[in-house]
Amino acid sequence: MDYDDVGLKKEEYDEICRRLKRLPNDVELLLFSAMWSEHCSYKHSKVLIKRYFKANTEENAGIVWISDDIGIAFKVESHNHPSAVEPFQGAATGVGGIIRDIIAMGARPIAILDSLTFGSPKSRKTRYLLEGVVSGISSYGNSIGVPTVGGEVRFDASYENNPLVNVMAVGIVNRSTIRTSRAKGVGNSLILVGSKTGRDGIHGASFASRKLREESFEDRPSVQVGDPFTEKKLIEATLEMCSLPQVIAVQDMGAAGILSSSSEMARKGGMGVDLFLERVPLREKMTPAEIMLSESQERMLFAVEKGKEKEIFECAEKWELDVANIGMLTDTGNMRLFWEGKEVADVPLDVLVDAPSYEKEITSISRSTLSLPIVNEPVNLEEVFLKLLSDPSVSSKKWIYTQYDYMVGTSTVVPPGDADAAIMLVGDGLKGMGVTIDSNGRYCNISPREGAKAVLFEAYANLVASGCRPLGITDGLNFGDPDDDRIYHQFSETIRGIAEGCDILNIPITGGNVSFYNRYEEESILPTPVIGMVGECPDVTRTVKFAFDTEGDKVYVVGEPVRGRVNSGSMYRKCVKGEVGNVFPDVDWYKIKEVFDFMLSCMEKDIFTAVHDVSDGGLAIAVAECCIPAKMGFVWEGEQPNVNILFEEIPGRFVVSIPNSKCKMFERMAHEDEIPFEEIGSVGSTDADFEVFKLPIPMLAKIYENALEEGLDLH
């Protein structure tokens, strides 16, 4: 076997030989090919992430605490490549994989969110991918009984052959049953629980570490097949086991299966590991290397105190799961593999796990900063408004989320489509949490650094708009080929942007995921950091939705006034002008943080009857979205609106409605805190009346609610 047969570079192979002080045998070479793949080793991203993301944890998921005892474990993970070649199973196993990250911490999963990005809504490929991905998430998520409560769906031609499927899972954990993946104690057992191991997904890790091309679709066998029934049993069994004191450490099995889970577990605890591979329950005849690399789904690995394995076996048997004691922890610091009594591999774990990492000279990419001349050509505002409202990136996602069981678990207080974030109960009282997931490749393509901040601030705004105080973020970083200077530069700028944004917002990054090689043939996707965020909601009965509900309430915009030109990156520029532009708007992020703080203090005083952040499509779309749910109207009463006022999208602005009795208090508070705001009108009865055009709400509702289905010709 040769190094390039298994996807290693010449210099990596030389490095392996140098560190081992000998040549690796074939089994060992395969172990290295998986562990040193981008997917497992993060070799292109590790250095930058370590440098800029201070609080990054190395556990399966990060945790923020909402009380002394109750923590929220959450993480986002991508499943882009598998979804590109097999959308149903790719998305389904994406859900399964991230759920196991959550249960590995001893947390009960209570919510799933997903950020999906597809190519042009007009293409047949997009329809095929979207239908497959949505039914994959629906069939898997619904079956395991974890509600899918939120997400986003976007369309842009650059994702045509490389869609993004980023899934975030959120769980609740008690401080006393929390588990880590740090395995300690010589002689302690490693117990494999879950599905039998088969040949599926072998080389999945290295498959995910290559760009997609025409032949990739022949890689369909590299995509694993999900079994939600086993996952459901595995969730219950794992949580029961985590309450047993003899369970020392838990690790889910994702990329590179038994290999990465056992080696990382032992490495984190400073141990070695011996595995006896003939003990692994198999579905078919397999070689030792295949057993190590298999990515069969729905398996977990437990480190259990020696002599106390019985209860673990009993629990697995109760849930009708396969279970086997496949090895033990040693003090050798090595991974030793045995097959029917013979040693087939023996490599130091530090050599295997600590793959070399790369940092490239960051080439500054020159790009034109010249703004296009301002052309004030006449536009038909009504036409533009309707075009934006019916754009599938903007319009209602009801066709999608009604296929997800978003209520199982009876904690969903604010379901999808009602507010900017989903709100879930945690525990028995009225305490809740808000969750959201966001991205925006258009902004990030103009300026990866400022665009990343815009995405982060958008997620923050979504939580603020629902009355939640943000607690932490997880990031899914989706990029093209890191060997390309331009892409590497995008990546490093994005990392800095997120780090700077988190400093300004004073919010920790608790974990994340990097997905490179999102490129089909020669075309890379737009740089797409996905931000998942959770926040705390002290009392779920006081959350605010975005529906206007009382005629006569005053409507205000809170935040910076518009600038006199619809900004680059806006939906207006993309859909109407056909060019997104190349100048990121000047944004004072510190000022926006003040706006956020102000909004939260208004929330504490129950000032608002509706709140919605202004994002895709600008103010006019935000107002329409407030009108549609309760079929209320709106009457414009501000200065005569023009294209900028209606469609500009600069970050950090909110539409709010306020009862007349509270307007004075609101205005006084805004003046005191020096927060810009403007009264733009009031809640009306039957029409959206923007002065320059007036349309009946039932008509808008119909367009907004059917646009996705009609635009993509979904069935």
Partner 1 sequence: MKVGIVVFPGTNCDRDTFKAFSRLPEVEVEYVWHTFTELFDYDLIVLPGGFSYGDYLRCGALARFSPVMSAVEKYILSKKGYVLGICNGFQILTEAGLLPGALSRNANNRFICEFCDIEIVNYNTPFTRMCEKRVLKLPIAHSDGNYCADASTIYELESEKRVIFRYVENPNGSMNAIAGIMDEEFRILGMMPHPERNCDGVLGNGDGRCVFESIYHELSREVSERDGLR
Of the candidate residues 229, 371, 668, 685, the single one contacting partner 1 (CB under 8 A): 229
Rounded Cα gap, residues 256 and 337, in angstroms: 15
Q: How far is C-alpha 166 from the chain's CA centre?
A: 5
CB of 267 to partner 1, least distance (A): 34
Question: Which residues in 658-696 are b (16+ Cβ under 10 Å) and which e?
Answer: bbeebeeebeebbeeeebebeebbbbbeebbbbebbebe
> What does DSSP say about strands 687-689 and 633-636: parallel, antiparallel, or unpaired?
parallel
Interface segment toward partner 1; rule CB under 8 A; list 388-396, 404-412, 600-608, 682-690:
404-412
* Residue 145 is a binding residue for partner 1 (CB under 8 A): yes
| Residues 563/643, Cβ–Cβ less than 8 Å | no
Task: Give the phi and the psi of residue 87 in degrees, each rounded to 5.
Answer: -60, -40
Question: With respect to partner 1, which residue has the nearer C-beta, 56 or 139?
Answer: 139
**Could you tell me the strand order of the sheet in which 70-78 lies?**
62-65, 70-78, 164-174, 108-118, 148-155
Q: In the bound complex, what is the minimum distance in angstroms from residue 229's beta carbon to partner 1?
A: 3
CB atoms within 10 A of CB 522: 10
Q: Residue 408, interface with partner 1 (CB under 8 A)?
A: yes
Asked whether position 405 contacts partner 1 by CB under 8 A, the answer is: yes
Q: What x-and-dash track marks residues 537-556 binding partner 1 by CB under 8 A?
A: ---xx---------------
Neighbours of 532 (CB within 10 A): 32
Comparing CB distances to partner 1, the nearer of 148 and 439 is 148
- Of 137-145, 251-259, 370-378, 603-611: span binding partner 1 (CB under 8 A): 137-145
CB nearer to partner 1: pick between 357 and 706:
706
Cα angle value 409/411/413 (rounded, 5°): 140
Q: Answer yes or no whether residue 143 interacts with partner 1 by CB under 8 A.
A: yes
**404 near partner 1, rule: CB under 8 A:** yes
Q: Does 706 bind partner 1 (CB under 8 A)?
A: no
For partner 1, which is the closer residue by CB, 430 or 504? Answer: 430
Which 267-296 positions form the footprint of partner 1 (CB under 8 A)?
none
Nearer to partner 1 by Cβ, of 147 and 476: the residue is: 147
Smaller CB separation from partner 1, 423 or 645: 423
Q: Does 715 bind partner 1 (CB under 8 A)?
A: yes
Q: Kindly state whether residue 63 participates in binding partner 1, applying the rule CB under 8 A.
A: no
Structural contact between residues 118 and 439, judged by C-beta atoms closer than 8 angstroms = no
Q: Which is nearer to partner 1, 306 or 431 (CB)?
A: 431
At closest approach, how far in Å is the CB of 685 from partner 1?
Answer: 24
Alpha-carbon distance 160 to 126, whole Å?
7
Rounded-to-integer distance, Cα 399 and Cα 408, Å:
19
Smallest distance, partner 1 to C-beta of residue 228, A: 7
Q: Characterize the bridge pairing of strands 677-684 and 554-558.
A: antiparallel
Residue span binding partner 1 (CB under 8 A) among the ranges 36-44, 228-236, 248-256, 329-337: 228-236
Minimum CB distance to partner 1 smaller for 93 or for 222: 93
Nearer to partner 1, 359 or 418 (CB): 418
Residue 278: count of CB within 10 angstroms of its CB = 12
Determine, following the binding rule CB under 8 A, whether residue 630 of this chain makes contact with partner 1: no
Active site residue 79: yes
Decide if residue 228 touches partner 1 (CB under 8 A).
yes
Q: Does 606 bind partner 1 (CB under 8 A)?
A: no
Neighbour-count burial for 191-208, b at 16+ CB within 10 Å, e otherwise: bbbbbbbbbbbbbbbbbb
Picking from 405, 389, 680, 411, the residue whose alpha carbon sits closest to that of residue 548 is: 680
DSSP secondary structure code for residue 124 in this structure: H
Binding of residue 139 to partner 1 (CB under 8 A)? yes
Please tell me the chain's helix, strand, coil percentages from 3-state DSSP, rounded to the nearest 5: 40, 25, 40
Q: Read off φ and ψ for residue 521, nearest 5 degrees.
A: 50, -115
Neighbours of 280 (CB within 10 A): 22
Binding test (CB under 8 A) with partner 1, winner from 142, 174, 550, 706: 142
Answer yes or no: 489 catalytic: no
Residues in the chain: 715
Cα 379–chain centre separation: 37
Candidate residues 412, 513, 609, 657; the one interacting with partner 1 per rule CB under 8 A = 412
Q: Note the maximum CA span of the chain.
A: 84
Task: Identify which of residues 321 and 646 has a Cβ nearer to partner 1 in the complex.
Answer: 321
Please state, in angstroms and rounded to a whole number, the distance separating the CA atoms of residues 519 and 483. Answer: 12
User: Does residue 402 bind partner 1 (CB under 8 A)?
Assistant: yes
In one-letter notation, the amino acid at residue 596 is F
Does position 368 interact with partner 1 (CB under 8 A)? The reply is no
- Rounded to whole angstroms, how far apart are CA atoms 345 and 679? 72
Q: How far is the CB of 405 from partner 1 (least distance, A)?
A: 5
Size of the site for partner 1 (CB under 8 A): 33
Site for partner 1 in 310-329 (CB under 8 A): 319-320
Q: Does position 692 bind partner 1 by CB under 8 A?
A: no
**Active-site residue identified among 44, 79, 81, 489:** 79
**128 interacts with partner 1 by CB under 8 A:** no
Q: Which stretch binds partner 1 (CB under 8 A): 333-341, 402-410, 551-559, 630-638?
A: 402-410
In sequence order, the β-bridge partners of residue 677 are 558
Q: Is 403 in the site for partner 1 (CB under 8 A)?
A: yes
CB of 408 to partner 1, least distance (A): 6
Residue 285 to residues 300, 338, 384, 597: CA-CA distances in angstroms?
A: 21, 16, 61, 60
Residues that bind partner 1 (CB under 8 A): 135, 138-139, 142-145, 227-230, 232-233, 319-320, 401-413, 425, 430, 540-541, 715
The catalytic site residues sit at 39, 79
